[in-house]
Structure 1
Amino acid sequence: MKKALVVTAAGVLALTGCGAGSGSFEAKGTMTLGLEGVTQHAPGGGECDGYRGYDDITPGAQVVISAEGKTVGKGELGEGKYDDGWCKFPFTVSDIKGGSDFYSVEVSNRGTIEYTKEELEAGINLSLGS
């Protein structure tokens, strides 16, 4: 009887490690602010930040990815670049624990939006303002 339990336990452990998408992956994306929340309004690019009601959207703002209520990855916004009335902040979150069907993304405590692993790997675009 003990021999059967050991074999069964080993089989279960082997199967749990073989699940599709259970390894880690990288998410990338952009957080975009509309004209009313941007510090620069000049053409030609350059750095920008959020201001007024968007002053929490700046380089270094936290990006949190969760699955099933648990944090599985953290990153931060990069430098904002002005682009035709918009301020775009790139981000990358590495070593996200895989294995879930959906992942919640939150930037600077602004609420969550759900995505699949495939969407996160391909790159997502979040936006605030108009």
Structure 2
Amino acid sequence: MSVRKVVLSAITLLTISALTACGGASATPQSTFDAAGKLEDYSLKGSTCTSQNANVLKTGDQVKIQANGTTVAMGEVGPGKLEDRSPNNGYICVFDFKVSGVPTGQGFYKVVVEGQGTKEVSEVELKSGTFTVNTTKLEDQPK
């Protein structure tokens, strides 16, 4: 066997060993969960939750989940449902959202609603499916 073949074989073995030791090809997939919640739009200007009447949100708007400043999963706003909050608030539109594939173990996440702002929330709240936010109370709202 030539010296060149021996050197190439040694390099190949070292590369495979390094990848295996670092978890290269056999990495365990990270555990994930589905984030779900409700977005309340108080800007209703009619009797239905259509884009003409609910000025803040609309079906299909993007929802991002961020952890440590990086987007880790994306989903979208579902159809709005009219809810009576009388006597104080009258009718509002409530939009469900669901984002699949959110990695566990990050502690706190930011829910980023397209064109509306962000809200920091714990993993426990996101997993519960009961997370609700009034869109007028989002942080970093566009001017």
- TM-score, scaled relative to structure 1: 0.70
Unmatched 5+ stretches in structure 2:
1-16, 85-90, 138-143
Deviation at 1:55, TM superposition (A): 3.0
- Determine the C-alpha separation between the residues in 2 that align with 1:61 and 1:49: 13
Cα deviations by residue, 1:40-69 (Å, 9 ceiling, x for unpaired): 33xxxxx413558x6351000111100011
Question: In the alignment, what sits opposite 2:141?
Answer: none
Question: In the alignment, what sits opposite 1:30?
Answer: 38
Question: In the alignment, what sits opposite 1:68?
Answer: 68
Question: In the alignment, what sits opposite 1:121?
Answer: 127
- Determine the C-alpha separation between the residues in 1 that align with 2:105 and 2:115: 24
Deviation at 1:126, TM superposition (A): 1.3
- Number of aligned pairs? 109
Q: Residues 32 and 88 of structure 1 are in contact (CA less than 8 Å); yes or no, is this contact kept in structure 2?
A: yes
Question: In the alignment, what sits opposite 1:95?
Answer: 101
**Structure 2 counterpart of 1:114, one-letter code:** E
- Determine the C-alpha separation between the residues in 2 that align with 1:94 and 1:29: 12
**Structure 1 counterpart of 2:63, one-letter code:** V
Larger RCO: Structure 1 or Structure 2 (Cα < 8 Å, ≥ 6 residues apart)? Answer: 1
- Determine the C-alpha separation between the residues in 2 that align with 1:23 and 1:66: 16
Deviation at 1:115, TM superposition (A): 1.1
- Determine the C-alpha separation between the residues in 2 that align with 1:86 and 1:104: 24
**Sequence identity (%):** 32
- TM-score, scaled relative to structure 2: 0.64
Q: Which has the larger radius of gyration?
A: 2
| Higher mean displacement: 61-70 or 91-100 | 91-100
Unmatched 5+ stretches in structure 1:
1-5, 42-46
Q: Residues 41 and 56 of structure 2 are in contact (CA less than 8 Å); yes or no, is this contact kept in structure 1?
A: no
- Determine the C-alpha separation between the residues in 2 that align with 1:75 and 1:98: 17
Runs of 4+ in 1 over 6 A off after TM superposition: none
